[in-house]
Amino acid sequence: MMKKILNVINHITTFLLFAVLIVTVLLVISFRASGGEAAIFGYQFKTVLSGSMEPEIQTGSIISIEKGGDMKRFEKGDVITYRTPEDMLVTHRIAEVIGDGEQYITKGDNNEGADLDPILAQNVVGKYTGFTVPYIGYVMNFANTSQGAALMLILPGLLLVGYSGITIWRALRQFDDSKAAEKH
């Protein structure tokens, strides 16, 4: 009975390691092909690099934003991601809508005052969906470097090869034990 349980655990572990390898390869290829802009089903994932939106969005988190649509549709209280004149991405809450949505005054939840410059609707990238995964942003930023991409591809492969080696060693040991038992 114990052998069957160990055999099932062995198969599950092998499958999981192989799945992690495949997913990691696909993610690294996706990040590289898209220039670091991961997107799934129309939602784009961004890394939060500051604490301006804490406690709702923690530094180092990834968030999903919904891209596209009419960028004049947002209301006070919506959280948007926009591009600054310095070509940086910022995610802040809308504090005020100017005109019919041509411009927005934004503010980080953790900031004392509103941002100095109004945001033009044409600079809005998308709306925050409410989906956040803490700390994964650090991994995504590292994976976007050359060293990170290499490590993300190599490490799961090494784990799979190492685990396969252990499995083969165990099988050979059991085979030797059964041969020794037959001789006695």
Catalytic residues: 50
Both structure tokens of 34: 């898209």
- Distance (Å, whole) CA 125 – CA 65: 8
Parallel, antiparallel or unpaired: strands 79-83 and 124-133: antiparallel
Is the Cβ–Cβ distance between 87 and 158 less than 8 Å?
A: no
Parallel, antiparallel or unpaired: strands 79-83 and 89-98: antiparallel
C-alpha distance from residue 70 to each of 30, 96, 128, 181 (Å): 27, 17, 15, 76
- Among 15, 25, 12, smallest CA distance to 155 is for 25
Dihedral angle computed from the Cα positions of residues 58, 61, 66 and 68, in that order, rounded to the nearest 10 degrees: 100
Residues in Cβ contact with 125 at an 8 Å cutoff, skipping those fewer than 6 apart: 44, 65, 67, 80, 81, 82, 83, 89
Is the Cβ–Cβ distance between 73 and 132 less than 8 Å?
A: no
